[in-house]
Amino acid sequence: MKQLGKTLLWIWILILVSLNSWSMFNGKTQSERSINFKAKERPNLVLVLVDDLGYADVGFNGCKDIPTPNIDRIADQGVIFTNGYVTWAACGPSRAGIITGRYQDRFGFGRNPLFAPNDPEMGLPLSEETLPDVLKKANYKSVAIGKWHLGAHESLRPLKRGFDDFYGFLSGGHQYFPEKWTLADEYAAKSQGGGYRTKLLRNDERIDETEYLTDALSREAVNYIEKYKDASFFMYLAYNAPHGPLQATEKYLTRFNHIKDIKRRTYAAMVSAVDDGVGLVLDKLESLNLSKNTIVVFLSDNGGPERGHGSDNGSLRGTKGHLLEGGIRVPFAMMWPSKIKPKTVYDNPIISLDIFSTIIAQGEKSIETKNPIDGVNLIPYISGDKEGLPHERLFWRTYDKEDYAIREGEYKLVQNSEEEGVFNLQNDLSEENDLQKKLPNKYDLLKERYEEWQKQMKPPIFMGLKQNSEYNKTHPKRFVKSN
């Protein structure tokens, strides 16, 4: 009997050890594994943000001379937002709105920031919680790839703003060919334009890259998807293409020999390079069986500059920098195969702030945020579960020019330095017929509502690109590395 008792005791010990080992597979405890499974109920997010893309320069918006089959896959397999907006008509403030889910003027990001590595105030203020900060509460891994432009100071860089990985550059633009990256780091820049020639960063380390910039960013995106395939992840894939300088490799240029205008041809080649990269990302998601539970969003940070750039905003009047439709209405599409029906078209106005709100709203309950968010969860509107407009009205402000715009339903009031007008966008997409005299009450109401909104906003907290010379005078050690 004693021998039998010993045998039974050893059997129980073996069972307990086996159960404990099973509960700690992959180095995780049972509770940690439960958290991970719960996190996986939330979708991944791949946000593809391009730079200075014209509204009419993608296939899903009718482009004929630049094929974009992979970008169009997002639209075909999901939803096209025909009235999709960003929060500013140029790079930096638009990105600040996207990454915080808040109108950037709420926290004083009303200018395009300068490249100033010694200035902790030149960029996204630390009072703001970023999308990766919030997603970290649900155990997401977050990766930033490409253009940052939210602060070059060490306290403002991606790894300090919630991201786990970063591959890219800190300035507002960059040269595309590696042989032009001749500056060792940000302190070798010596001027605003010098930021375009710095070596790339992987996290906090400068590296030697050999590929054409757009191709390198696409390669890294695919690699990071592989790295985080077993986690819930957010990828911020911020291509700087087709922002100037207009530079493309022969691989892409030869696809457009039929385009005689050299600027349009080079621009087309740059868009095509992005499209190839989007295809690699989508293919990777499919090969890893991640597509069904991944939200993929594609948009531009503002409208195309058109003149001298090769971009085309189609029938929209205005360009980058303008609060007319050509500056703020952008190519905008989203796919999520498990929730969004293919070939959906959504016509009500939405804005880039809604990306933030949409992703944090998924799962059993919305992730709490430190600050009030201006965006809304778009999924119930796209599916038809929720009727009405996602936003009663949308607002824009260009502080230094004293320009502003407000859209309410089909009506839009625009105040530009050259003109002021009320337009019915449903009947007048090109904003050519001013209704201010015909609809004075509408004009007064829209102006009153804009002024109410503006009272909640702050003036810019830093100098911008227009104040570059003034900034240099007050910051003579702008590029001097301190001890």
Task: Show which residues are catalytic.
Answer: 91, 149
Q: How far apart are CA 208 and CA 448, in angstroms?
A: 54
φ/ψ (deg, to 5) at 310: 95, -5
Closest CA to 157 of 107, 217, 113, 193: 113
